[in-house]
Amino acid sequence: MGSKKQGREWIVFALTVAGIGNALIGIYEYFGGSGALHLLVNGNHFRAFGTFGQPNPFGGFMGLLAPLALMSAGGYGLRLWRKGRRAPIALADIVPVAFYGIAFGLMAIGVYVSVSRGAWLAFAASLGMMAFALPRRTGYGLGLIVVGAALGVFLWTTGRVPASIVARINSFTQETFAINDVRGVTITAENYAVIERLAHWQAAVNMATANPLLGVGFGNYEAAYPAYSLMNWELALGHAHNYYLNVLAETGMIGLLSYVALWVMIGWITWRVRRHPDQLSRFTAVGLLGTWVYLAVHSFTDNLWVNNLFMHMGVMLGILALLQHEVRGQENLGL
């Protein structure tokens, strides 16, 4: 089991290095390195897109990997603290904590500089899930959620959240929940991005309404789009900008229920793996829970199964499988 555990730690390390690389590129772009004038925000910064070409998948990549980096820092930090109570601490013990701590910081900055509202909201939800799942006692987790929510409300209501963030989130929520049918909405430079997203949502609903059980066929959203598109929105973006609606449009209710059931099962398995006797492995499981929650929330506003992100998700599912195998082995041994 020791060699498998070390191999798993190297896989987490490789995922983190990939995240660091893109985070550094994104931060460089935000401070003017991209020069992409169509992504200019706040007067003198540019929305970061990393190596993805678009800010939303870049923010998604940062948000998917950041939970694993944060929990790795926590797991190695706990190991360091326990060792320091009984023996001198060596530099080699400090390096993993510093590495994963810095990695999380860079990826959190990456989420911010993507200026993706979906990424921001999903990242907050991910942090909340990890705070809830980390303590072994559920009551402690609920307490952390309450404290975190109260702190967030306090910062928001007292104006301590940066105005740029408040304005961007408010514009998204107000326009999204205030509009039922975008066909009669006047398109402006300020609401274009939101209306474009809602128009593709509406097209997906039209597809599902016409094909409720099986949809238009997996992968056929773009091909079917012209027959269901709205006036002024003839060009398809390739997906519905909401993965749940995308699955509903392409595979119908049968496909959507199957997709949701799959991730509920994965989430339940991950929750149970939190019982892993090894602390670092338990922290890794909590990080994976944060990743699944991030994916679930961000999928309401985008499709993250792009730009080979499915490969990273597959690797993380493989880590979960290894953790589950170890937990079952411990249970079979009666440990």
Considering the chain, what percentage of its residues have pLDDT values greater than 90?
61
Residues 79, 40 contacting (CB under 8 angstroms): no
Mean pLDDT of 86-108: 92
Residue ranges per structural domain of the chain = 2-136+274-332, 179-254
- Give the mean pLDDT of the chain: 88
Q: Which tokens belong to 63?
A: 């948000």
Q: What's the token pair of residue 134? A: 């980390």
Residue pair 118/59 in contact (Cβ under 8 Å)? The answer is yes
Q: Which of 21-30, 158-167, 282-291, 312-321 has the lowest mean pLDDT?
A: 158-167
pLDDT tens for 127-138 read 999 999 999 887
The CA–CA distances, whole Å, from 208 to 180, 195, 233, 250, 307 equal 17, 20, 18, 8, 26
Length of the chain: 335
Alpha-carbon distance 248 to 220, whole Å? 12
DSSP annotation of 46 reads E
What confidence tier does 246 reach under pLDDT thresholds 50, 70, 90?
A: very high
What pTM was estimated for this model as a whole? 0.90
Q: Are 126 and 63 in contact (CB under 8 A)?
A: yes
Q: What is the Cα–Cα distance from 30 to 157, expressed in whole angstroms?
A: 28
